[in-house]
Amino acid sequence: MQKTKIYEYAKCSTCRNALKFLDQRNVDYQKVAIVETPPSKAELRKMLAAQNGNIKKLFNTSGEVYREMKIGAKIESITVDEALDLLASNGKLIKRPFVITGDTGLLGFREEDWKKLF
């Protein structure tokens, strides 16, 4: 089985909780710093499919960069490719933790969703 990849931000308490959850379940995962190494466009597309095509779900809407760039006002008018380019170029725009495992993905940390997958 393909190793689970978790994009996280060290200062994010939600990410720390997610990592603790994985550790408690002895899940083998690869930790990636989301700011330094954002997910690839291919991974973002996989996540988009896992989110039923809802591009908004991929954005960290409560993040400072999201607000500074006024993406909320633009989100309806940009194409999926433009949105994926933005996300792939700035890890702070991406909702985290961002987990890719096999053919599926999870965004954020909702323990009940994680229990179903792990």
In this prediction, residue 56 carries a pLDDT of 95
The label of the residue with tokens 């994985």 reads: 22
Strand partners, 100: 5, 105
Q: What residue numbers bound the domain in which 89 lies?
A: 4-117
Checking if the pLDDT of 27 tops 80, the result is yes
Longest dimension (CA), the chain: 43
- Specify whether the CB–CB gap between 107 and 57 falls below 8 A: yes
Shortest CA distance to 105 belongs to which of 24, 39, 61, 9? 39
In this prediction, residue 103 carries a pLDDT of 82
In this prediction, residue 21 carries a pLDDT of 97
Mean pLDDT along residues 35-46: 96
Checking if the pLDDT of 83 tops 90, the result is yes
Checking if the pLDDT of 1 tops 70, the result is no
Checking if the pLDDT of 51 tops 90, the result is yes
Checking if the pLDDT of 14 tops 80, the result is yes
The domain that holds 35 is classified in CATH as: 3.40.30.10
In this prediction, residue 2 carries a pLDDT of 63
Checking if the pLDDT of 16 tops 90, the result is yes
- Specify whether the CB–CB gap between 81 and 44 falls below 8 A: no
Shortest CA distance to 33 belongs to which of 19, 46, 50? 19
Distant-in-sequence, close-in-space partners of 1: CB < 8 Å, separation ≥ 6: 102
Checking if the pLDDT of 69 tops 90, the result is yes
Phi, psi of 11 (to 5 degrees): -85, 0
How many domains does the chain divide into?
A: 1
In this prediction, residue 102 carries a pLDDT of 84
